[in-house]
Structure 1
């Protein structure tokens, strides 16, 4: 799951300090086009993600002569960034989740991107460019990597059942039941389950995962109106139907792994690779791990089956944020231009472990030009055809958390009334949207 910033720690004093860094009405910072760029990337220090970003930075320096100092931070990322904000000394560039755009814009720590100064921005896939725009219609980030969800299936288990690759939710449920009751691993024990679900409330995982089914059924968390405002949408007929179907997987057919309501992604990942679950909706980033732990011949990658409406699934990715107060805005624009170029997109996809570019956002780049594995083509096609990002509202985190709390409660307590709980949820969402100034009347 994309790593979420929690900006509650960034108090009013820090926000006002940032406002003095480079937002509207603040003193202009003297520019130096030769000044080195300080880049922060939210990843584990010393890990493959940091190594990959440094590889991109080194290639950028060779190409442009512009120096970039890369700092990888994972633990306490939010606190450290807020400290720098309070000091009016933000890094020049932050490489972070595209889903954080609304929050970062509302805190005043990023500057507007002038796409006319970002070479190649006209080559960006439209959906990727859309997620870089805030509610005011202005662009505040430059997406450089994308991902979307597909369905992983234990291929050897499915062969034993004789069932086809699921194309509908009914077929998905049937396969999940066969994996749960048909002893697909042949050990003579009832110890396998159909669908792996990270259903924890932690960081909104239950909502994050459920979005792959909610949208496919034509439902939504919140619905944008003609005037640009939003209304709660979890108690609409489509959302209720999707939630009941998902809840039935846990409560009626019982094809979800035990303890799903307390699991985030690490233990859920383990259920799939340990042969306890046979279906998993997830992004491409886990394939290298599962290839090693399971063997790539043991599972297949297919599009998520269509729901009542279509096969819309969650799209995510990373963006380059050009931070407010930089003394080298020309250098910021150069970096943004570089990371979306075909050269950098291909370089970022190279490697066998963690990739800085999961799927290319430049529509001229074919993923198969770097990765010959056809499973990556499945993911790329799903992203372009069916991927949908969470909306760029001022703060998506509380919306995701509130919906996760309700979805989690429904799969944990089979006695709860789905419609009643979703109606209560919509009341909470309405209050949140109003507090953010985007609630429809």
Structure 2
């Protein structure tokens, strides 16, 4: 069991074998978006989905009410709310010591790209786009450049992100939010149990990320697959385990209701209602985001490498505020195109 983002790595290294989607018991009950995340660049399937997730906003409800703001209906309004959380003393301690937006801006494991994907897609931009039989870079397209300019402004002009955001990974940002130093956090449903315990369930609300300049809402969708490792002497056993993991019984075990061990965040099996099983409607917000606005990373031979390259390029413009965004994105596009060429995926 491993991330959907590792599929390309596993396939190119020959570590996994192909999966027969139609020949997998119960495959028709598994969400199409989850199957999409098990599909390689060649269109074949290399895993059986067992877990999915999408990203939504956790917003300090008490802070929002304190500054007299409504739930944001656009990314521009979201950034305005972040500015109010930064400047208007939402915690009432008389100090300017809060950050509006909590961002894992590190290049480690491509964190900045991981976080920025939702914003970029909502703004109508992209990292790559289909061209012919392959892909080409899209980070230098006008909509993408405008989105990155907004990102740079959050770090450099309005300064609504937490101090040290450009080097922060998720372990750091979790702590910033739960310690009451940050007011808006774009993250996954797996954080709810932790923040309920550390911050308090009534202190924050779960809200779908709003549409941006692109006119439509979008949210990064991820998950995990059961990969059937190549070279096994027990392929029938592998298949049986994968089918069980994706079955209603396997999915309900994975919800961790009895032991708190959540390995299924959002069920991939459409016959299982995770929010109803958990008796927590906040999980349904994440499920609806996944179903209606979720977007998987592109099925490149190795998306993880492109994610890392793009994260380093983005980090450069938020770490050096004098950098010209259009020029930097042109350079990044060249790097991405070179990597696509290397992977045999350049259109």
Aligned partner of 2:81 in structure 1 is 175
> Could you tell me whether the CA contact under 8 Å between 1:117 and 1:333 is conserved in 2?
no
Q: Any gaps of 5 or more consecutive residues in structure 2? A: none
Aligned partner of 1:114 in structure 2 is 20
Matching of residues 78-97 of structure 1 within 5 Å: 95-97=1-3
Residue 439 (str. 1) matches residue 341 (str. 2): no
Aligned partner of 1:374 in structure 2 is 281
Q: Distance in 2 between matches of 1:193 and 1:130?
A: 36
The Cα shift of 1:253 comes to 1.1
Matching of residues 299-338 of structure 1 within 5 Å: 299-309=204-214, 310-338=216-244
How big is each residue's C-alpha offset from its partner over 1:8-41, in whole Å with a ceiling of 9 and x where there is no partner?
Answer: xxxxxxxxxxxxxxxxxxxxxxxxxxxxxxxxxx
> Could you tell me whether the CA contact under 8 Å between 2:60 and 2:203 is conserved in 1?
yes
Q: SS in structure 2 opposite 1:218?
A: coil
Q: Distance in 2 between matches of 1:191 and 1:287?
A: 24
Residue 206 (str. 1) matches residue 112 (str. 2): yes
Q: Any gaps of 5 or more consecutive residues in structure 1? A: 1-94
Give the structure-1-normalised TM-score.
0.77
The Cα shift of 1:130 comes to 1.0
The Cα shift of 1:397 comes to 1.9
How big is each residue's C-alpha offset from its partner over 1:314-370, in whole Å with a ceiling of 9 and x where there is no partner?
Answer: 111110000111111111111111111111112211336441100011112111231
The Cα shift of 1:392 comes to 2.1
Residue 419 (str. 1) matches residue 326 (str. 2): yes
With 364-373 and 296-305 compared, the bigger mean Cα shift is at 364-373
Aligned partner of 2:177 in structure 1 is 272
How big is each residue's C-alpha offset from its partner over 1:372-422, in whole Å with a ceiling of 9 and x where there is no partner?
Answer: 111100011101111111112111122111111111111111100000000
RMSD of aligned Cα (Å): 1.1
Give the structure-2-normalised TM-score.
0.97
- Match among 299, 306, 312 for residue 405 of structure 1: 312
> Could you tell me whether the CA contact under 8 Å between 2:118 and 2:220 is conserved in 1?
yes
Matching of residues 88-237 of structure 1 within 5 Å: 95-225=1-131, 227-237=132-142
> Could you tell me whether the CA contact under 8 Å between 1:350 and 1:370 is conserved in 2?
no
With 254-263 and 346-355 compared, the bigger mean Cα shift is at 346-355
- Match among 333, 337, 340 for residue 430 of structure 1: 337
With 286-295 and 389-398 compared, the bigger mean Cα shift is at 389-398
Distance 1:412 1:361, change over 3 A: same
Q: Distance in 2 between matches of 1:406 and 1:112?
A: 34
Higher RCO (Cα < 8 Å, 6 or more apart): 2
Q: SS in structure 2 opposite 1:322?
A: coil
Q: Distance in 1 between matches of 2:78 and 2:43?
A: 39
Q: SS in structure 1 opposite 2:221?
A: strand
Q: SS in structure 2 opposite 1:431?
A: helix
The Cα shift of 1:228 comes to 2.6
> Could you tell me whether the CA contact under 8 Å between 1:285 and 1:354 is conserved in 2?
no
Residue 251 (str. 1) matches residue 139 (str. 2): no
Residue 392 (str. 1) matches residue 304 (str. 2): no
Q: Distance in 1 between matches of 2:41 and 2:106?
A: 29
- Match among 312, 320, 344 for residue 250 of structure 2: 344
Q: Distance in 2 between matches of 1:121 and 1:186?
A: 53
Q: Distance in 2 between matches of 1:228 and 1:287?
A: 41
Q: Distance in 1 between matches of 2:71 and 2:24?
A: 43
> Could you tell me whether the CA contact under 8 Å between 1:99 and 1:392 is conserved in 2?
no
> Could you tell me whether the CA contact under 8 Å between 2:254 and 2:261 is conserved in 1?
no
Q: Distance in 1 between matches of 2:201 and 2:113?
A: 29
Aligned partner of 1:288 in structure 2 is 193
The structure 1 segments of at least 4 consecutive aligned residues displaced by more than 4 Å after TM superposition are none
The Cα shift of 1:241 comes to 1.0
> Could you tell me whether the CA contact under 8 Å between 1:204 and 1:401 is conserved in 2?
yes
Q: Distance in 1 between matches of 2:168 and 2:18?
A: 38
How big is each residue's C-alpha offset from its partner over 1:198-219, in whole Å with a ceiling of 9 and x where there is no partner?
Answer: 0011111111111010111121
Aligned partner of 1:10 in structure 2 is none
